[in-house]
Each structure stands twice: as structure tokens, then as C-alpha cells.
Amino acid sequence: MARNSVILVLASVLLASIALVCDSAAIFNPISDAHRSAALELFSPSDGSFGSLEETYEAIRTFEALRVNRILKCELNDKAFAGIVTRLKDSVNAANSLLDFYHSIGGLTLIKDQTSEVDVHLEDADRIFRSIKALSQSDGRWRYSSNNPESSTYAAGIALETLAGVVSLASSEIDHSLVATLKNDIMKLFDGVERYDDGAYYFDEKFVDAHGHQDPLSASSSVVRGITAFATATGESLNLPGDKTLGLAKFFLGIEIPGSAKDLYHQIDALACLENSRVSVPLILSLPATVLSVSRKDQLEVRVNTVLGSASPPLSVKLMQIFSSGSKDASVIDQELKFDPERAVHVLETLPENVDVGKYIFSFEISLQDPEHKKRYMTGGRTKVPVYITGVIEVNNAEIAVLDSDIGSIELQKKLDLSGENDVALSANHLQKLRLSFQLNTPLGHTFKPHQVFLKLRHESGVEHIFVVGNSGKKFEIILDFLGLVEKFFYLSGKYDIQLTVGDSVMENSFLRPLGHVELDLPDAPEKAARPPPQPIDPYSRYGPKAEITHIFRAPEKRPPRELSLAFSGLVLLPFFGFLAGLLRLRANLKNFPRSTVPATFAILFHLGIASVLLLYALFWFKLDLFTTLKALGFLGIFLMFVGHRTLSHLASVSAKLKSA
């Protein structure tokens, strides 16, 4: 039942949290009577009692998580709560481990939220507080019990949540020195927080207990849940480092959608705690689109929300700096974005004039307008976001030429339109050169250097040669000296197709363009020259559909007339009739044919079986195939063996009687 309780808790928290993140994601069915029954069964154990303290706590927490009293409209009487409270208080007094305190006090806290008619207050709250505090360590982590010297970050979160429950259940105010000491432990715990390069912070867990290893997600979620619960219960200001608190929010958001329901529970629960925290509510700056086109004049849009996507308080967003990719220099912008209340986005209508095609890092700064909001919300200083600026690149002055190898004079030159179709036809020998040149300019007129510029020559036999096109100043140019390339070309003369590839992630009009062909006349290969590598076989030509095979059957041979065939069949049957006539002529002896009813029946069946075999041979000649004939002959053979054996046995017994007489 404990397992079922955990599943119900996870399901309820996930549904409630996801509903805060998105307006609509799926079609949900309303709560039914089956949900009421499942919730009430948690408080109706089969043997009249709960299996363990943890099971009791999980049942109460499930009842609370499902909000059964308010949503499902089903009630538990105060008598049932009173019995549970008595057991939980006894468990608190007898607890000797952190988990025992956690489940007992957690159950009392949940019951306190359910009803005010049952007394759940702790009379000796200071003693219980000190008993739990005795398990703390100097680095802010906690032990699970006094018998276990290992400290745990996950246990620290459980301890903080438990102590928050003690404060809320105390019948009198807790000693303030204990609260101050605990605040100091929280600051020490934050000193050991780990950091990723992207600014995300997390708590790592190195302790392995009986329940297994707690990963950074569960450990961080436990700490966040404990800190927010403690701050809510005590009303104290913790003054936690803003960058670390915001970094924890980035850690949970960076996980996106976890692969298990338990991890999703830890993620959403921690974000919900940060959303409703008394510490500080993190504000997350995001861009709906990080790819902008300077050719289409796209506008830069920025959203600022809480971790669960709620609207932010009134604020302003400024674009402070722009860093170019690969450069430490930054352009100071200091421009405020215009807020669009209808879409709740901050808009930069036009990009700065110095922003051209490329990769940049935009640095934003959030400023809250109300001074009271600065105490409530956390912005984290400047936020850096990578932005890709794309555009249409102009290709100018493209030409291809065949040069004389000696003096470099132009033998043949043709203009190219790299934005359209080209089909140039060139010819050259091994004493000449091939030159290709063109210019690339951004929409602002600057020289553009793409990541990929390749020239490919493909021989008609399938051998390919790829060359990198370099740039010198404002022009891209490559010169192929065929005299130095004859060995690389394997001395293969003939037709070479020319293809140019220009591509970049920020170039909207990247292209792979065939330019035409060049007819090369290369010298014959010497005896020891390298041979071209074997070309891979096209899988489609090898394993694809084969050509259809057409076959014309020969015309059937001419057959004799029907009358002649029938006459021949009659001549074939004539000896059989002659055989019958011979039997009558010779007066065949049929005196031994059985006269009794049963032996006569077997004798008749035996002769009918022989006749059936003869008829089967005739059918095989005219109609049946070999396999059908053999199958039928097998059944007839068994039948003949049986009736023939009975017939011959009868004849043998009659003969024996005659001899004895």
C-alpha cells in the first residue's frame, strides 16, 4: 500500500504543477468515485492498522496531496484523526533516527492542515528540536542517525523540513538561539554547492544509504524543499546568495523533462517551492527565438517569468552588451526594450547597426520598478544568451577560367551566376590551370567567411577529388595546377564534373551548385603509378529491383485427330477383354470362393480393392498427379492388406480342415 501511496502523491503533484506551466496539454477526465474509494482505502487498512510509520505518513500525505476533503468532498471524522495523532506523537517521543522524526512530524503537520479540532501541538518542542539538531554536521550536512557517522546532503533537506514542522507544531515559541544556529548551518550548506559552467548550481550527494544513492536532482530538491519550508515556518530572512538560488532554478529547468516519474516529481516540487518561497522568487529571462534574420528584419523578443511560467511583476529589460563570437571585445548598447502588454514580451524593434550576420552573446539586465519587489524577487544580475543572426549572403564577381601554366595568361574565361543554373564546358591539358574566384558579402556589405567552401571534381568513372577554397582579403579563389595533380588524378583523362559547395549555419542561402564540366587531357600513366581506388557499389543497383524477365513459351506441338486417339485407346483395352474371354473359355475354377457371409464379404472387398488400384492407375494416366496418386495408393494398400489377410486366413483354415478330414 505504501507503493500505491507514493504513486498517488506523484500523480497529484505532477498534475497540479503541469497545470501551472501550460494552459492545455491533454484531455483530462474529471475526478470519479474510483478516486474517492482509493483515497478512503488508505485510511481503511485490512488488518485495522498501518504496516509502518512511513506507511502512515505516506497515507496522510496522499490524503492531503489529493485534497480529498475539498476536491472529492469526502470526510474523515475527528475520531480517526485523533487515533493517528496519538500514535504519531508516541513515535516522535520514541524516535531515534532522522527518518522517524521526519515521518512522524510530517504526518502531524499534514493533519494540522486538515482539521483544527484535533490537538497536534508538541509540548516539548525545544527538546525535539535539539534532538534533531544533534544530528547536524559542521559543513551543514546531516546524519540519518547517531549510530551512522556518514553525513548526507539529502538528509540535510529532510532535517530542515522536519525542523520546520517542529516550529509550526510547537505549543510555545522555539528558542531563538536554536533558529539562529540553524540559519548558520544553512549558510554552511550553501558553501558546498557545486556549479556548472552555464551558471547552474546543484547539491551533490556522496553518501549511499540503504535506499541507494541519491542523485543531484533528488539531493537539490530535498534541500530546496527544506529551506523553503523552514523559511515559511519561522518567517526568518535567510539572506541566501542570489546567484546560487537562481542557479538552483536554472539547474532544475535545465533538466527539461526527466525520464522517470520520481525525478519529475523532484523537479516540479522543487520549482513549486521556489515559486512560492519566502526566501526569494527567481525570475527567468528567456528568448522565444534565438535565431533572428537580419534580411527579414526580425525583432528581438524577451520574456521574463517565474520558474513555473507565471507572470513577472512590473519591470524593465535592457540590452547592455553584445559580444561577438570568438572575440572578448563587447559593444556597449545600454538600450531598454519596449514592453508589449498584450503578449507580455519585451521587444527590441531594430537590431543595433553594428550587428551583422554571425553568432553573438547578448547581455541583458532586469530592473524591478517597485522597491518592494526587489525584496521579493531575484533577477541575478546580467543574463547572457547566445543569439544567432542569419541573413542572405550576396555572391558577386564569380568567374571560372583556364590559365596558361607558363605565364598565367587567360586561355578561356566565363562568368558564373552562383544564384542560378550554370553549365560551362571547359577543356584543359596537364600544362594548364583552372581558376575559380568569387566574393561573398553580408547584407551590411561586409566580407563573409563561411565555414565550408569546397570545390569538387568528379570523374566520369566515379572518382572524386575535393579541394578547400581559401580566401585572400575580400575574394575567395582557388587555382588548380593540373601538372602537379596528375598523380592525384591517377592520370585519368576525360570529363570531370565541377561542383561548388558554400555553407554556414548563419547563411540563409547556402548552396551546393553544379557549375558544368572540364575535359582534361592528361598523359598516360606510367607502369608503377597508383591505380584509382575501387568505387563503392551503389546499394540500389545491387539490392534494388531487377529488370523484368520476359519469356515466350514455344507453341504446343500438333496433336493427332480425336478419332485416332480414341481408336488407339480401344486397341489398348482390347487385350483386357481378351483376358476375360480366355477365363471363360478355360472354365476358371471359382469353387474356392468363400460362401459364408463374413468371409465372402472380405473376399469381395479384396477384389474391389484391386479394381480400385487399377482405376487409380487409370486416373493417374488421365488426370491425377504423382503425389496425389501415391497418397491414395497408400490408403488403398493398407485396406488391401487387411481384407486380403482375412480372406487368405479363411482359405487356409478351410484347406486345413479338408486335409484333416
State pTM to two decimals: 0.66
Per-residue pLDDT tens digits for 446-462 = 999 999 999 999 999 99
Q: What is the pLDDT of residue 234?
A: 87
Q: What is the pLDDT of residue 206?
A: 76
**Contact (Cβ atoms closer than 8 angstroms) between residue 142 and residue 152:** yes
Task: Please provide residue 122's backbone torsions phi and psi, each rounded to the nearest 5 degrees.
Answer: -100, 125
Q: What is the pLDDT of residue 33?
A: 45
Q: What is the pLDDT of residue 157?
A: 93
Element of type H or E holding 501: strand 494-503
Mean pLDDT for the chain overall: 83
CA distance 284 to 282: 6
Considering all CA atoms of the chain, what is the largest pairwise distance in Å, rounded to the nearest integer? 141
Task: Tell me the pairing of strands 345-348 and 330-336.
Answer: unpaired
Mean pLDDT of 503-531: 93
Per-residue pLDDT tens digits for 538-551 = 777 778 788 888 88
**Inter-CA distances, 30 with 34, 35, 36, 71, Å:** 11, 10, 12, 11
| Residue indicated by cell numbers 550576420 | 357
CA distance 150 to 586: 119
CA distance 109 to 128: 15
**Inter-CA distances, 257 with 24, 216, 582, Å:** 17, 15, 101
**275: nearest Cα among 328, 222, 312, 318:** 312
Q: What is the pLDDT of residue 238?
A: 82
Question: Which cell goes with 600?
Answer: 465372402
Q: What is the pLDDT of residue 353?
A: 85
CB atoms within 10 A of CB 559: 8
Q: What is the pLDDT of residue 447?
A: 93
CA distance 405 to 409: 8
**Contact (Cβ atoms closer than 8 angstroms) between residue 144 and residue 152:** yes
Q: What is the pLDDT of residue 434?
A: 95
Per-residue pLDDT tens digits for 139-156 = 999 998 888 888 899 999
CA distance 86 to 97: 19
Determine the length of the chain.
661
Q: Which residues contact 97 (CB under 8 A, 6 or more apart)?
A: 144, 145
Say whether pLDDT at 40 is over 80: no
CA distance 661 to 70: 113
**Contact (Cβ atoms closer than 8 angstroms) between residue 345 and residue 286:** no
CA distance 336 to 304: 14
HEC per residue, 611-654:
HHHHHHHHHHHHCCCHHHHHHHHHHHHHHHHHHHHHHHHHHHHH
The DSSP secondary-structure symbol of 559 reads P
Question: Which cell goes with 279?
Answer: 526566501
Question: Which cell goes with 318?
Answer: 535592457
Torsion of CA 581, 587, 589, 590, to 10 degrees: 60
**Inter-CA distances, 116 with 78, 82, 108, 387, Å:** 9, 11, 12, 55
Mean pLDDT of 633-637: 91
Q: Which residues contact 647 (CB under 8 A, 6 or more apart)?
A: 594, 599, 602, 603, 606
**Inter-CA distances, 538 with 290, 497, 544, Å:** 41, 19, 9
**164: nearest Cα among 278, 21, 324:** 278
Share of the chain above pLDDT 90, in %: 42
Mean pLDDT of 328-342: 88
Q: What is the pLDDT of residue 224?
A: 94
**Inter-CA distances, 284 with 201, 242, 246, Å:** 15, 13, 8
Q: What is the pLDDT of residue 533?
A: 87
Please report how the helices 261-275 and 242-254 are oriented relative to each other, as an axis angle in degrees rounded to 10. 150
CB atoms within 10 A of CB 4: 14
Residue 142 burial (10 A CB sphere; 0-12, 13-18, 19+)? buried
**Contact (Cβ atoms closer than 8 angstroms) between residue 162 and residue 133:** no
Mean pLDDT of 116-132: 88
Share of the chain above pLDDT 70, in %: 86
Say whether pLDDT at 578 is over 50: yes
**Inter-CA distances, 617 with 567, 578, 607, 620, Å:** 20, 20, 16, 5
Task: Please provide residue 158's backbone torsions phi and psi, each rounded to the nearest 5 degrees.
Answer: -60, -40
- Give the CA count within 13 Å in the CB-facing half-sphere of 40: 12
- Per-position b or e across 38-60, b if 16+ CB within 10 A of its CB: bbeebbeeeeeebeebbbbbbbb
Q: What is the pLDDT of residue 642?
A: 92
Element of type H or E holding 493: none
Q: What is the pLDDT of residue 360?
A: 93
Question: Which cell goes with 650?
Answer: 479363411
Say whether pLDDT at 53 is over 70: no
CA distance 264 to 258: 5
Q: What is the pLDDT of residue 5?
A: 36
Q: What is the pLDDT of residue 96?
A: 87
